[in-house]
């Protein structure tokens, strides 16, 4: 049985093997057609557990819970944007919304050389939340773990009795007190909206990367055992944006692997033009003859994940594969798109920082 490490940085390559092993279902075409959202249309949301019942609620215009969050363990980059984009999309579908800022989780589950104290996790929490607000998150939908209600903390301890040591070891393969405490908080984050005093019992959806599936499995196991008649939480799984270099993950600890939302626009331009792996051929003549390779191109990945207009994204793909687009021009265009995005985003960020500080520190 494969072991997924939700705190690791491994790049997942064999999706089908993991889907089969862990009982995940691929997103069917029918979902894509019904939802009409670019992250589904472009194959970036790849699998689900039990999402059918959430979709049925969306179609009947009935409420459902939209729950996700971020662990505040570093600077925010473009790869994190997908969490916020999905959350904002489900909100538009009529959800009851819970976006958790996991500051305690970030501190207890990360090594001291990364997050030495809670104050550091809260510093990142303010910065991360300000970015998420600038990306379109509504402050009314946000809570910080460290400022949650007493019922939330009571619940995060209550649920611990429903997990045996064998189950925990089978899912995570290791016992580490900080990580156990982070897991209990994560389960509480996903389930607590169904408790009395919050939204109440109803289907819920949480979007996660595939490496987070251990949390999904343990959460559903606990939900089955709790005495509240809970609806089993549903999950959808998205692809992570890769690093700018070949075979890497976009990571906060590798400055050149990522475009950070706080990068100076000209630094982002430099990274796209000089440090990003392209799927171009050896010479322009070869490229005209054979076409480029967008499937392995990190410049194209930026368009695929973030370009708002699907038709224009498809046009870049077609012009690349037919040899009509040269990498130099394509990089130039991508760098301008990213620069313009950052200029606009950073103007919004200047206004959201104080709101974020108020939510995290009170
Ligand atoms: Fe990538 Fe653009 Fe070159 Fe195609 S033309 S390989 S999408 S950089």
| CB of 230 sitting under 6 A from ligand 1 | no
Specify the pTM.
0.94
The pLDDT value recorded for residue 11 is: 67
The pLDDT value recorded for residue 298 is: 97
Average pLDDT over residues 99-117: 96
Our mutation pick for probing the ligand 1 site, out of 305, 317, 320, 323, counting the most ligand atoms within 8 A of Cβ, is: 320
Nearest alpha-carbon partner for 245 in 3, 26, 11, 7: 11
The pLDDT value recorded for residue 19 is: 86
Is residue 97 within 8 A of residue 91, CB to CB? The reply is yes
Tell me: pLDDT of 233 over 70: yes
Tokens 């990945």 sit on residue: 301
The pLDDT value recorded for residue 249 is: 81
Average pLDDT over residues 36-51: 96
Give the Å distance between the CA of 71 and the centre of ligand 1: 33
Tokens 């687009």 sit on residue: 325
What's the N-to-C CA distance of the chain in angstroms? 45
């Amino acid at each position: 049985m494969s072991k997924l490490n939700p705190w690791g940085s491994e790049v997942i390559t064999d999706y089908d093997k993991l889907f089969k092993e862990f009982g995940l279902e691929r997103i069917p075409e029918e979902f894509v057609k019904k939802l009409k959202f670019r992250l589904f249309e472009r194959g970036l949301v790849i699998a689900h557990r039990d999402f059918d019942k959430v979709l049925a609620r969306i179609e009947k215009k009935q409420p459902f819970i939209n729950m996700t969050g971020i662990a505040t363990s570093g600077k925010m980059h473009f790869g994190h944007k997908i969490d916020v984009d999905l959350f904002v999309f489900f909100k538009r579908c009529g959800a009851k919304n819970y976006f958790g800022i996991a500051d305690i989780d970030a501190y207890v589950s990360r090594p001291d050389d990364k997050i030495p104290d809670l104050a550091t996790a809260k510093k990142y929490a303010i910065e991360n939340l300000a970015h998420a607000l600038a990306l379109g998150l509504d402050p009314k939908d946000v809570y910080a773990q460290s400022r949650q209600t007493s019922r939330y903390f009571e619940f995060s301890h209550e649920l611990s009795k429903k997990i045996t040591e064998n189950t925990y070891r089978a899912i995570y393969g290791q016992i580490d007190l900080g990580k156990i405490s982070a897991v209990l908080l994560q389960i509480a984050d996903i389930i607590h909206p169904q408790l009395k005093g919050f939204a109440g019992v109803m289907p819920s959806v949480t979007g996660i990367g595939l490496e987070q599936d251990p949390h999904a499995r343990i959460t559903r196991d606990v939900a089955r055992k709790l005495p509240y008649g809970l609806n089993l939480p549903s999950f959808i799984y998205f692809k992570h944006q890769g690093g700018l270099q070949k075979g890497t993950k976009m990571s906060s600890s590798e400055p050149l692997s990522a475009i950070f939302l706080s990068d100076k626009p000209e630094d982002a331009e430099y990274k796209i033009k000089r440090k990003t792996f392209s799927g171009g051929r050896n010479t322009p003549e070869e490229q005209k003859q054979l076409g480029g390779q967008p499937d392995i191109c990190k410049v194209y990945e930026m368009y695929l994940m973030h370009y708002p207009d699907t038709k224009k994204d498809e046009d870049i793909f077609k012009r690349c594969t037919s040899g009509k687009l040269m990498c130099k021009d394509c990089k130039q265009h991508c760098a301008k798109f990213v620069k313009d995005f950052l200029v606009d985003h950073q103007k919004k960020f200047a206004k959201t920082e104080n709101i974020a500080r108020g939510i995290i520190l009170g």
